[in-house]
Copies of this chain bind each other. A is one copy, B any other.
Amino acid sequence: MIKVERLLINYKTLEMFKRFKEYGHQELSMLEDLQNKIVENNSESPFYGIYYGNNLIARMSLYEINKKYDYYFEPQQDYLTLWKLEVLPDYQGRGYGKRLVEFAKEFRLPIKTNPRINSHGFWEKMGFQKAHYEMERDLGENPLIWLPEGVQEKEIIK
């Protein structure tokens, strides 16, 4: 069983994040906050990851959106948003991405993600479906959702 760990914010983690393609403002901001002591060393991050030996080889970010801001699900409820799911190239095709998504599903909350366009086959295999696209809500996103039992996609009235 591949172990998924909640990642702690420290210089070592942030250095390992640089190997991932989707390194961006989020990681830079975490680094600045650490340097300026706005966050403590080893505080929890929204990232979960998989280590292979001492190397972080896969990661994703998860954040729980409050029911109040749920425009995707029926009944309206808290849900998870998942982003920056990525497995380093040398470790792809071995189930690490799948394991991370399964980990997210274990919270038994609906999940929304906005994947890059060429990864739809993977998400479909993971049981995700295209949300009906609504421009005012989704703008440049390609929203995919996963529905646990008893949850439906919110109907859009055009």
A binding-site residues for B, Cβ under 8 Å: 21-26, 28-29, 33, 38, 46, 61, 63, 81, 83-84, 114, 117, 130-133, 135-136, 138-143, 158
Contact = CB atoms under 8 A, between A and B. Distances in A.
A155 to B, nearest CB: 15
A81 B136 CA distance: 11
A130 B143 CA distance: 25
Given A46-B135, A63-B136, A136-B63, A143 B81 contact: no
Contact of A140 (B21, B84, B138): B84
B83 A26 contact: no
Most buried by B among A83, A138, A139: A139
| Identical chains bound together, number | 2
A154 to B, nearest CB: 16
A61 B140 contact: yes
B83 A28 contact: no
15 contacts: A22-B117, A23-B117, A24-B142, A25-B138, A25-B141, A26-B133, A26-B140, A28-B133, A46-B135, A61-B139, A63-B136, A63-B139, A83-B140, A84-B140, A114-B140
